[in-house]
Every structure is written in structure tokens, then in C-alpha cells.
Amino acid sequence: MKQAPEPTEFDLSSGVGGRTQQRTNQPIVGAAAALSVSIPHAIGLGLLAFAPLAYLGTASALALWSAALPGALLALLARGKGVVYGPSTAVALLFGGMLSLVVGAGAAVSISAAQALAITGVFAALGFLLQSLIAWSGLARLARFIPVAVTQGFAAGVGLSLIVAQIKGLHYISGGQWGALLGWHAAIALAVVALSLVLQRLWPRFPTLLLAVILVALPWLFWAPGVELSMAADEAVFLLPIVPDWWAAPWGLVLDQVGFQLASLALLMAVVNSLEVLVYHQQLESEHGQHSPPGLVLGREGWVGAGCALLGLIPASTSLSRSRTALFYTGTPSRRAGQWHALGLIAVAVSGYLWLPWVPMAVLMGALLIAGVRMIPPSLWKRPAAREERSSRAQAWVVALVFVGTSGALALLAGLLVATLELLRASGAHAIRRVHLEGKLRSRHVRGPQDESWLAARMSTVAVFELQGIFSFGVAAQVVEQVRAHLNGHRCVVLDASRVPSWDETGCLRLINLAHELHAQNVALLLCGVHGLAAQRMAGLHTQPDLDRALEWAEEQILATRPAEVQAQPEQATQVSALGELGAELTASQGAALQARMRSLRFAPGELIIRQGDLDRTLLWVKAGTVTLSTSEAPDQGVRLSVIGAGAVFGEMAFLNGMARTAFAHAGSDGAALNTLSWEQFQAWRQSDPEGALLFVTALARMGIRRLGATSRELRAAME
């Protein structure tokens, strides 16, 4: 038995670009770094979201439990590598907006906190159920069509939003006035930022942000300035989460007044949160090779989030800011960091009522400033070298700025719009593959010397544009502009669309409009290589099956403009008329002797003249009509190799070396009149007039070399 070969071992040590190198194998370090962001983030967002219930004195407790419990459940059930879970900015703010609507609508019946949380939780749960529906329907797979520049801009937008929110927050907690209080708050926040940066340089692997928060916050336990600083929370006692009261809630009253607004916010919550989650997991895959099916991720987070919302808590999901902060220290995705983070937040929720009243709010805002800066991808801070990189950076910053000014959904739409316009611009710039303006591009129609000399001086009036790529609305507009810019005295425009795989309706209309515009300027537009629905839409235009036939049509139009006296002008000698350019150097007697050995034949339109593979050493002249050489025995099928016009010769390869015929030859649409010379008749003439035969063969070889050169130019053009 033949022994199977041993499997080949390949070097897998490299070849995966863009992966972040591991910094440390201690997930607790990444968890501590994420906690330094989560604690101020959760308290700030939670207090804002539960502000309508602040009159009950339970806002800080609800904020702490919302930060801890939903994230812990996701860490236990979703178990995503490299993911830290917590309430996102968008979800927390939308939850707060729902709660405010519910409290306002139920004010007439003195709605309680438990009742308000019940109604708000149901609509927040509806938003996360819609997120699960997005996962179940497969719409999450559309995330792979989001450009990298958009995802980078999305992350940068979240970071910039954090920075802007903290700047506004510092002004708000200072009473909305410029003065000493604002100066103290700003100084404290900047102290956290500066100390964190200094410590980061000293200990790159240590969560220095949390250490900076502690070092800046500790002095306020023993000393405070002569102004009253805003603290993270008021003094309170230990409280458990409020149990929602679904049964006694005034459903009818609230739904009647704000039901539509609540449903709209639920839909917006589903869309925005899904986008944030998908964007982060796309970055996680590109930067760390950690692939997670988007539908599975959204489905798990959707069901857990819906359950937490029904309990009156702000639903948690994948947190971009905390996940990236943890990865900044761990380097590689790990479940442990998220689990340690969840345990830390539970400890904070249990003990927060003891120490939060002693922590200045400005300290937490300084931590969020650092978190916002770290959210912006490092590549966006670098100066791009190439033009393509500058375009990508510009798209990312457009998305980021729109995110700051509006919302995540509008930022995504803006990013996709900019990316689409950039794609259309780039496609349009390369939609014209090549331009031929000098008249050197010719058809395969072989004509007599007189026709060729007339065409050679006038083919420069024909401009040929080779198109390529998908011809969409934006691409069509740019192609039309480029065609207009290139025209300079041309009387015919040929658009070769054989390399265009797809058209849209607007692109077709653009070319129809261009045809009307050129027609008004006495310029003909000829379109070739269009098939299917696009050909039907542009049926009113002058079209040809391929570029060769289009060029042939243009040549015939030019030849038709010859004056009557030129068209009727007789050849210089009788033998030239019969032998074409092959008899140009023969004397009258030599030409007459050769013509005496030739036969005259006539063929009906489409009749077969030569069969491919035949062994027939006969040379043929076209006296009238045309002959088409093709690869098929049927005259209307196969590839058209050449068209032999009046005064030209064909069959020279078989005539000279005896090889089999390489193509089929058919008479043209008007039939063909031919003169033929067999190899035997030529040999008999050669023996009687060797000098004349030498001149004839030399002219035949010269003609073959010229045709071979034209074929080489065609092949070179096709390869390019």
C-alpha cells in the first residue's frame, strides 16, 4: 500500500496584520481600569436617567443597581470575550426620556416611582425585544457593509460625546455661572487627567486612571476649599432596587397621552444600541481577530436587557468605552476582565451609599474625560500620508462630529452617505478605462489602399471611450462630464460598454441625455457592448454589438462623405484594379499574365466561401462586396475576426505555406465577387516570370506583416 505523505507544516507566526500585541495576562488589571470609567459613568448617567424620581431620594441607589446588576447578568449569560457590559450613554438617556414622559403623563394621578418604573420598563423591554428581532431576522448581517471609516468615526463620536458632556457637566454643577466654583471643579477634573497621564508614563501596565481618581479624591476627606463642591451623591442609607408595580400603574392614562412617543423612543433605543454593539464587535474582529456572530450577540443582549428593563433597571449592553479601556491594558480579549468588572460594580453598588457622598463629582468627570480621549481610535490622531487615508480620516471625523451634534443613528446615516459619495467619486474617476482621440483605433474591416488613405486622414474625428465598472447614477454623471471635457472637434463619440457589468436606470438616462446634447452639436453618439435590460432602456440610441462593428460603422460614415468624383475615380491601371496593392509594382504585361491565370467567382449573401480546416492553397481577392472571417460555420454566430472589403486579399497564410484554413469565410450582406489564384497556377506563372513572382510575393509578405502588426496592437490593447 502506498504510504500517505506527511502533512506539510506552514509557518503561522505571521501573516495576520493589525492585531494588538498582548500587554499583560492579568484580567483584573483591565477590570480595574474599566471600573475607573464605569463608576463615574454609571453614577452620572444613572442620576440623569432617574432624575424624575429624585424627589423620592432613591435616584443614587437606582443608578448604582442599574450599573451593577444588568451588567453582571450579561457577564454571566452572554460571556463575550473582550467585552465589558454596562448601560450605554444612548440607552441610559433614552430610558431617562421615557421615565420623564411617564412621570409627566401620570402626574395628574400622583404616579409612584414603582408605577413609573413599571411602564418605563415595559417600553424599554420592547426596545430590546426589537433588538432581538433584528438579530432573528438576519438584519444584523448588514453590519458587514459598514465601512471601517464609519466604525472608527462612531467610536470617536462616543468619545467626543463623553468629553463634551463632561465640559457641559462641569458648568452645570457649578450653577451655570462663571466663577470660583467652576474654577475649582475644572481644576479638580484637570488634576485627574494630568495625574493619570503622568502615572501612565511611569507604570504603563497599571490602571493609573483609577489610582488618579483615588489620589485626587482623598484630600477632600480632610480638607475642602471655601466653596461648596458638588458631590457624587447625597448622604443616604442602604436601599435595594424598587420593585415595579405593574398592576396599579395608570396604563390607560399614560398610553393615551404619550404612548406613541414611548414606542418611538423604544424603536430608537433598539436601532442605536444595535448599531453601537455591532460597531464594537466589528472593531473587535478587525483589531483582535475575535469573531462573534452579530445575530447571536444581539439576541443574547436583547433578551437579558428586556428582562432587566421589566425589573425597572436600565438595560446593559456591550460598552464601547469600558471594553476598549479594558483592552488597552489586557491587550487580548478575555472573559475574566468582564467578570471581575461585574463583581467590582456589585461591590460598588452595595457600598456606594457609604463613600459616594465624599467624592467630588468633578473627580468622576475628570475620569470620563480620559475615557473619552481613549475612545477615539489612535489612527485618527495620526497624520495620513496617502490621499486615500486622508479621505478615510475625513469620513471618520464627519461621522464623529455628527454623532456629537445629533445621535448615533444620524451619524451612521451621515457616514454611509459620505462613504457612498466617496465610493461613487472613486468609481467615477476610474469608470473610463481608456480614451482614444487620435484615430489610431480601427476596425477589423480590411479595405483597399484608396479607402485606407482616406480614412487614415479623418479617423481623428472619432473619439472612443472604453468604460468599465458598475454604471450607477453618480458614475454616469462623472463619465458624461469627462466625455464633454475630452471632445475637441470630434464628430463621432463611441462608448464601449463591454466591460460594464451593471447599469441603473439613472445611468441609462444620463447617456440618453448626452446623446441628445451631442446630436444638437452635430456629433453622433454610438454605444456598443450593451445587452439585456440596459439595451432595452437605451433602445432609442444608436447601438452596435461590439466595438469592432461600431468602428466599422464610423469608417463607413467617413467613406460616405467622399466627393462623388473621388468615389468614382478609376484605379491607375487595370491590373491594380484586379490585383489591388499586390499588383502595384508589376508591369502591365506581368499583371495581365497573372490575371489570365485567375478565376472569377460570385457568392450569394451569407454563402460559405472557405471552411476552417480545409487544405486549399488558393489566394482570394475581393472585387466587390465584402467577406467576413469568423470562428463559426454559421454566418451570424461565433467571433468576427475580420471583414475583407473590395480591393483586399485573404487566404494568404494557406496560400504561402500550405497550412489548413484557420477560419470560416462567408459572403457579406450584399454578396461577394472574388478573383482566385490557385497555388498551381501561381507556380506556373513563377516559372515563366520569376521576377514578377518575386515582386508579387514580396508585396504579399509586406501586406501580411502590416496585418500582423495591427493584430498585435489589438492584442496589446486587450491585455492592457
Which of 44-58, 132-146, 236-250 has the weakest average pLDDT?
44-58
Kindly state whether residue 660 falls inside one of the protein's structural domains: yes
Assess if residue 13 is contained within a domain: no
439 and 400 in one domain? no
Domain boundary among 563, 593, 614: 563
Whether residue 524 is found in the same domain as residue 506: yes
Write out pLDDT tens, residues 381-430.
777 666 666 777 877 888 888 877 775 666 767 776 777 777 667 777 77
Q: For 485-534, how does the pLDDT look when each residue is reduced to its tens digit (9 = 90+)? A: 998 889 999 999 988 888 888 888 888 888 888 998 999 999 998 988 88
pTM above 0.85, yes or no: no
d(C-alpha 188, C-alpha 184), whole Å: 6
Domain end (from 519, 542, 563): 563
Residue owning grid cell 503561522: 12
Residue 12 belongs to some domain of the structure = no
Q: Are 663 and 631 in contact (CB under 8 A)?
A: yes
State whether 608 and 468 are in the same domain: no
Residue 256 structural domain? 27-423
Specify whether 603 is located in the same domain as 649: yes
Cβ-contact 2, 309 below 8 angstroms: no
- Of 15-29, 279-293, 429-443, 499-513, the poorest mean pLDDT is in 15-29
Statement to judge: residues 642 and 666 lie in one domain: yes
Whether residue 47 is found in the same domain as residue 167: yes
Domain final position from 531, 563, 595: 563
CATH of the domain at 447: 3.30.750.24
Does a structural domain hold residue 16? no
Q: Is the same domain home to 488 and 634?
A: no
Q: Does pLDDT of 32 surpass 80?
A: no
Over 90: is that where the pLDDT of 125 sits?
Answer: yes
Does 303 share its domain with 443? no
Mean pLDDT value of segment 126-141:
83
- Residues 389, 525, single domain; the answer is no
Mean pLDDT across 326-349: 82
On whether residue 20 sits in a domain, the answer given is: no
Share of the chain above pLDDT 90, in %: 8
Radius of gyration of the chain (CA): 40
Q: Are residues 603 and 513 in the same domain?
A: no
Q: Classify residue 568: in a domain, yes or no.
A: no
Burial of 718 (0-12, 13-18, 19+ CB in 10 A): exposed
> What is the residue-averaged pLDDT of the chain?
79
Tens of pLDDT, residues 609-640:
888 888 888 888 888 888 988 888 887 777 78
**Is residue 709 scored above 70 in pLDDT?**
no
Supply the CATH number for residue 634's domain: 2.60.120.10
SS3 495: strand
pLDDT class for 18, splitting at 50, 70, 90?
very low
Mean pLDDT of 567-572: 46
Q: Which three cell numbers stand for residue 531?
A: 445587452
Residues 81 and 141 in one domain: yes
Q: Examine the domain organization and report whether 210 and 343 are in the same domain.
A: yes
Task: Kindly report, residue by residue over 85-101, the tens digit of the pLDDT.
Answer: 888 877 887 788 888 88
Domain count, the chain: 3
The per-residue pLDDT for 367 is 76
> Angle CA(407)–CA(409)–CA(412) in degrees, nearest 5?
110
Give the rounded percent of residues in the chain with a pLDDT score beyond 70.
83
Tell me what pLDDT residue 250 has. 92
Asked whether residue 5 is assigned to any structural domain, the reply reads no
Three-state SS letters, 350-363: HHHHHHHHHCEHHH
- Of residues 684 and 427, more confidence is placed in 684
- At 20, the pLDDT band (50, 70, 90 cuts) reads very low
Residue 674, in any domain of the structure: yes
